[in-house]
A = this chain, B = another copy of it.
Amino acid sequence: MDDPVDVRLAAEVSHDPRATLAQLSERVGLSVSAVQARLRKLENSGVIVGYQAILDPEAVGRPLSAFIEITPLDPRQPDDAPRLLEPLTAIEACHSVAGDAAYMLFVRVASPRELEALVSEIRHRASVNTRTTVVLQTFYEHRPMLSP
């Protein structure tokens, strides 16, 4: 993505994905059709991966979140943790990381009891040790990657 107008457009959409083409065209200084064409290109080329509604975790019954670092029990075994854990929908993100652990997960659950069950499930599904860091308060998250 080289064009500065594309960057601006991506930033605008990133902040307000429900904006109409007319609003976007005003903000980036192009005609509606031009904006539409560029937006399509950004979507099809994979710059814009998708759109998402951000829900209130408490309102949807997942008030407790945590980071879980996982380490394979046997480092010599082939390691397939991300795929093995993918069906667990409580897991919002899965990264492999440099450092003590092999992977870092971010999870959302309903209760401490459910967190315990999830950790246990992760352990024996992927044959790993875990180290859980419970989130006490979220000050901000989902902040956009581009600032307009």
Residues of chain A at interface, number, CB under 8 A: 59
Check if B98 sits within 8 Å of A133, measured CB to CB.
Answer: yes
Check if B55 sits within 8 Å of A47, measured CB to CB.
Answer: yes
Distance in angstroms between the alpha carbons of A34 and B122 in the assembled complex:
40
Distance in angstroms between the alpha carbons of A142 and B54 in the assembled complex:
10
26 example contacts (A-B, Cβ-Cβ < 8 A) are as follows: A1-B61, A14-B52, A14-B55, A17-B17, A18-B51, A46-B59, A47-B55, A47-B56, A48-B56, A49-B55, A52-B144, A55-B145, A82-B140, A89-B143, A92-B143, A93-B138, A93-B142, A93-B143, A94-B139, A95-B137, A95-B138, A95-B139, A97-B134, A98-B136, A99-B133, A99-B134
Q: What are the 5 closest A-B residue pairs judged by CB atoms, nearest first?
A: A93-B141, A82-B139, A47-B59, A17-B53, A49-B54
Interface on A for B, CB 8 Å cutoff? 1, 7, 10, 13-18, 45-57, 59-62, 65, 67, 82, 86, 89, 91-99, 101, 104, 106, 108, 133-147
